[in-house]
């Protein structure tokens, strides 16, 4: 039944507006030379030893092969069944044939997680309701089962699903079958769709309409649907055994370590991601150009605040400082989401790294730390050199923590001292941005620590006399975006969203159904950031838009499961 549901769900359209499911055309399987059997005669004929085997041929029907001879009712014993039976025997090795096996022991022997099937199989094998079976009985029953014919295996499956052993399957038992099969296969079918599918399939199988499904009715349904016979499969044991036969695993040969370039430098990546590669290369080159600009400017223009012995350390520190200004500008640019979204819809959008903006922001954040560390270390070495030379008779501590040396572009000499709060602020932002913080559901910690970018930028303006030139344009755009994202502006523009429905699919997908504001437009393949206060007041979650732009009534959004998000969204 697991495979039936999986096969059916591929072509299932779970909408109440379409009450009919796709059904296979009724085919008379048992064509006997000279006459046609009535449907109720099929079942009696199948149980006779000289009956034609229920084996659909390649064209979807099974029949006799002519007047010469009849097909015997042959048992089915697949190679997979034989391997599995040997594996079970090995699992019971060392146990006497009369040793008792309870339900927990049987679960360990079979190593199965299908509790529903395990309970039913144990109840069938425990014919005397003793609460246990012996090893001999288990091996005998499994041997009979694996060597049984198609009809016998189908009867065993029917008995497994007949939970109350009444000889028929009611709608409640049928619903449990479908739910178990859907869970085992992780199919994206919601509770309402399961209920609708249960009723439709049950009514289809229940030929006489008495409210229960008999074995004959199940058999008749399978006769009418050749594809369902193949999906139900002859190996009944696979309903309660692991998906793959477990046995001694072959040892993997250790892989030889090879020196290879990172994936983004391979020809395959360059071929399929030319835009990303080109911009990554341009960013790499720009890093060295700005470093060179900073060092040359310090060497030929601003070296008068140092001495010849200490100039090399000074110019390297300035090279890192110039890059720090540049990297902080890029940080802001890649966080202007609305502006980037507008540019994405233009002709130049496909040639810009807009879809990798969040990733670029993270990478640049690490580079900012690298530049800040280099700038700080070489200034520390520079100040040590100045103190050793005896410039101004200032000590090393004076250069690091006081304004006495009066260094910097602002009078008072507090510019070097401002470097310390910059270091501490970056360290706090970095620590609270780690995945262990964000993925643990503590997004507020991440959000409020990131608000430290405001004092960071202000202090950086005071620390560097050139940073304001880098900041003025992207900073203005960023501030305007923040104003446009306020609640009052969104209400004024008529772009308020409301969640109407939430479905947490078994396949690990979260689906949201929302209203579609008139002012909201999008193109196929776009994604949207939404804020769900029940999870985090300030966190914005990316969702892929799965509905059509022409559907003005509702908006359907999906995203893959994230542990802390998937189970809190409901």
pLDDT digits (tens, 9 = 90+) for 37-74: 333 333 333 333 333 333 333 333 344 444 444 434 45
Report the 10 Å Cβ neighbour count for 50.
9
Query: In Å, how far are 155, 159, 302, 319, 461 from 297, measured between CA atoms?
Result: 87, 86, 7, 9, 19
Residue 543 shares a structural domain with residue 512: yes
Residue 168 shares a structural domain with residue 33: yes
Q: Considering the domain boundaries, does residue 256 fall inside one?
A: no
Which among 459, 485, 511 is the end of a domain?
485
Indicate whether 463 pLDDT > 90.
Answer: yes
Of the candidate ranges 172-186, 331-345, 397-411, 518-532, the one whose mean pLDDT is the lowest: 172-186
Residue 181 shares a structural domain with residue 58: yes
Residue 471 shares a structural domain with residue 534: no
What is the Cα Rg of the chain in Å? 36
Which of the given ranges, 121-125, 255-259, 301-305, has the highest pLDDT on average? 121-125
204 falls in which pLDDT band (50, 70, 90)?
A: confident
Report the 10 Å Cβ neighbour count for 563.
11
Q: Considering the domain boundaries, does residue 203 fall inside one?
A: yes
Residue 412 shares a structural domain with residue 304: yes
Indicate whether 389 pLDDT > 80.
Answer: yes
Q: Phi/psi at 88 (nearest 5 deg)? A: -65, -40
Indicate whether 427 pLDDT > 50.
Answer: yes
Residue 365 shares a structural domain with residue 450: yes
517 falls in which pLDDT band (50, 70, 90)?
A: confident
Residue 159 tokens read as 């008995």
Separation CA 357–CA 566 (nearest Å):
24
Residue 179 tokens read as 């739910």
Residue 79 shares a structural domain with residue 214: yes
Inter-residue contact 11 to 18 (CB < 8 Å): no
Residue 413's nearest CA partner among 290, 547, 274, 305 is: 305
Residue 395 tokens read as 């000590």
Residue 449 shares a structural domain with residue 333: yes
User: Higher model confidence: residue 228 or residue 157?
Assistant: 157
Inter-residue contact 156 to 236 (CB < 8 Å): yes
Residue 518's nearest CA partner among 501, 494, 486 is: 494
The number of folded domains in the chain is: 3
pLDDT digits (tens, 9 = 90+) for 84-115: 777 777 777 767 667 788 878 877 777 776 67
Which among 485, 520, 547 is the end of a domain?
485
Residue 85 shares a structural domain with residue 165: yes
Q: Considering the domain boundaries, does residue 398 fall inside one?
A: yes
Average pLDDT over residues 127-145: 79
Separation CA 503–CA 558 (nearest Å):
10
Q: Considering the domain boundaries, does residue 223 fall inside one?
A: yes
3 state SS for 86-104? HHHHHHCCCCCCCCEECHH
Q: Considering the domain boundaries, does residue 451 fall inside one?
A: yes
Residue 24's nearest CA partner among 69, 53, 60 is: 60
470 falls in which pLDDT band (50, 70, 90)?
A: very high
Inter-residue contact 429 to 449 (CB < 8 Å): yes
Exposed/middle/buried for residue 66 (C-beta within 10 Å: 0-12, 13-18, 19+): exposed
Separation CA 265–CA 69 (nearest Å):
68
| CB half-sphere exposure, 386, CA atoms < 13 A | 25
- DSSP alpha helix (H) spans, 392-529: 396-401, 419-432, 435-438, 443-450, 453-463, 467-484, 487-493
333 falls in which pLDDT band (50, 70, 90)?
A: very high
Query: In Å, how far are 316, 320, 404, 414 from 399, measured between CA atoms?
Result: 18, 19, 8, 10
Residue 545 region by backbone torsions, left for phi larger than 0, else alpha for psi between -120 and 50, else beta: beta
Residue 456 shares a structural domain with residue 509: no
Average pLDDT over residues 551-558: 83
Of the candidate ranges 11-15, 199-203, 248-252, 385-389, the one whose mean pLDDT is the lowest: 11-15
pLDDT of amino acid 59:
38
Own/partner pairs for 237-243, CB < 8 Å, 24+ apart? 237/81, 237/84, 237/142, 237/145, 237/146, 238/80, 239/2, 239/114, 239/117, 239/157, 239/160, 240/110, 240/112, 240/114, 240/117, 240/118, 240/121, 241/84, 241/110, 241/112, 242/110, 242/111, 242/112
Residue 205 shares a structural domain with residue 279: no
Residue 25 tokens read as 């055309």
Q: Considering the domain boundaries, does residue 490 fall inside one?
A: no
Which among 453, 485, 517 is the end of a domain?
485
Q: Which domain, by its residues, includes 473?
A: 264-485
Q: What CATH number is attached to the domain comprising 515?
A: 2.40.30.10
Separation CA 47–CA 152 (nearest Å):
9
pTM reported for the whole predicted model? 0.53
Report the 10 Å Cβ neighbour count for 154.
21
Burial 75-99 (b: 16+ CB within 10 A, else e): ebbeebbeebbebbeeebeebeeee
User: Higher model confidence: residue 57 or residue 297?
Assistant: 297
- DSSP state letter for 250: P
Q: Considering the domain boundaries, does residue 64 fall inside one?
A: yes
Q: Considering the domain boundaries, does residue 527 fall inside one?
A: yes
Residues 6+ apart with CB under 8 A from 30: 37, 42, 45, 46, 52, 62, 63, 223
Separation CA 267–CA 248 (nearest Å):
39
Own/partner pairs for 336-339, CB < 8 Å, 24+ apart? 336/474, 336/477, 336/478, 336/481, 337/481, 337/529, 338/481, 338/484, 338/485, 339/477, 339/481
Query: In Å, how far are 19, 32, 162, 505 from 175, measured between CA atoms?
Result: 18, 36, 12, 18
- Lookup result for tokens 């078994």: 506
565 falls in which pLDDT band (50, 70, 90)?
A: low
Q: Phi/psi at 76 (nearest 5 deg)? A: -115, 125
213 falls in which pLDDT band (50, 70, 90)?
A: confident
Residue 194 shares a structural domain with residue 94: yes
Residues 6+ apart with CB under 8 A from 102: 131, 132
Inter-residue contact 247 to 16 (CB < 8 Å): no
Residue 69 tokens read as 């001879």
Q: What CATH number is attached to the domain comprising 102?
A: 1.10.238.10
3-class SS shares of the chain: helix, strand, coil, % to 5: 55, 10, 40
Indicate whether 386 pLDDT > 50.
Answer: yes
Helix (H) or strand (E) holding 289: helix 274-300
pLDDT of amino acid 319:
95
Average pLDDT over residues 206-230: 73
């Amino acid at each position: 039944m697991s495979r039936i549901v999986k096969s059916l769900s591929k072509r299932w359209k779970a909408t109440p507006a379409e009450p009919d499911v796709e059904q296979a055309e009724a085919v008379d399987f048992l064509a006997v030379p000279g006459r046609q059997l009535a449907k109720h005669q099929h079942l009696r004929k199948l149980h006779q030893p000289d009956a034609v085997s229920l084996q659909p041929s390649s064209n979807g029907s099974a029949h006799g092969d002519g007047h010469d001879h009849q097909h015997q009712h042959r048992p089915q014993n697949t190679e997979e069944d034989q391997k599995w039976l040997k594996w079970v025997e090995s699992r019971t090795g060392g146990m006497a044939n009369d040793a008792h096996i309870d339900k927990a022991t049987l679960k360990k022997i079979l190593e199965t997680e299908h509790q529903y099937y395990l309970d039913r199989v144990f109840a069938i094998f425990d014919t005397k309701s003793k609460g246990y079976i012996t090893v001999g009985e288990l091996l005998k029953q499994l041997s009979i089962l694996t060597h049984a014919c198609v009809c016998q295996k189908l009867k065993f499956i029917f008995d497994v699903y007949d939970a109350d052993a009444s000889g028929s399957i009611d709608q409640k038992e049928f619903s449990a079958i479908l739910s178990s099969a859907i869970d085992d296969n992780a199919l994206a079918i919601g509770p309402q769709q399961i209920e609708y599918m249960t009723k439709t399939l049950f009514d289809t199988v229940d030929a006489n309409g008495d409210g229960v499904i008999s074995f004959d009715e199940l058999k008749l349904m399978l006769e009418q649907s050749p594809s369902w016979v193949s999906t139900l499969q002859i190996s009944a044991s696979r309903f309660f055994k692991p998906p793959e036969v477990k046995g001694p695993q072959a040892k993997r040969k250790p892989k030889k370590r090879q020196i290879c370039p990172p994936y983004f430098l391979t020809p395959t990546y360059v071929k399929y991601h030319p835009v990303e590669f080109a911009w990554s290369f341009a960013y790499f080159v720009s890093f060295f150009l700005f470093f060179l600009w900073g060092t040359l400017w310090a060497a030929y223009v601003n070296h008068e605040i140092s001495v010849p012995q200490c100039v090399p350390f000074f110019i390297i520190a300035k090279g890192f400082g110039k890059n720090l200004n540049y990297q902080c500008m890029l940080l802001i640019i890649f966080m202007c989401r609305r502006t980037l979204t507008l540019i994405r819809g233009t002709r130049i959008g496909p040639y810009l790294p807009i879809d990798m903006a969040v990733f670029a922001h993270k990478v640049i954040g690490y580079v900012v730390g690298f530049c800040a560390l280099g700038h700080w270390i070489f200034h520390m070495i520079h100040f040590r050199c100045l103190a050793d030379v005896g410039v101004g008779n200032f000590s090393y501590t004076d250069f690091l923590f006081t304004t006495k040396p009066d260094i910097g572009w602002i009078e008072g000499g507090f510019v070097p001292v401002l470097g310390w709060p910059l270091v501490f602020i970056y360290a706090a932002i970095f620590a609270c941005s780690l995945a262990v913080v964000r993925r643990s559901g503590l997004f507020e910690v991440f959000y409020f620590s990131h608000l430290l970018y405001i004092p960071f930028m202000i202090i950086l303006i005071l620390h560097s006399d050139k940073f304001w030139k880098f900041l003025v344009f992207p900073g203005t755009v960023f501030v305007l975006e923040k104003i446009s994202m306020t609640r009052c502006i969104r209400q004024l523009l008529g772009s308020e969203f409301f969640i109407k429905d939430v479905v947490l699919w078994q396949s690990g997908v979260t689906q949201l159904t929302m209203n579609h504001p008139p002012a909201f437009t999008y193109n196929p393949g776009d994604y949207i950031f939404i804020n769900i206060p029940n999870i985090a007041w300030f966190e914005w979650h990316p969702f892929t838009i799965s509905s059509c732009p022409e559907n003005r009534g509702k908006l359907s959004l999906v995203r893959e499961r994230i542990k802390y998000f998937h189970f809190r969204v409901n």
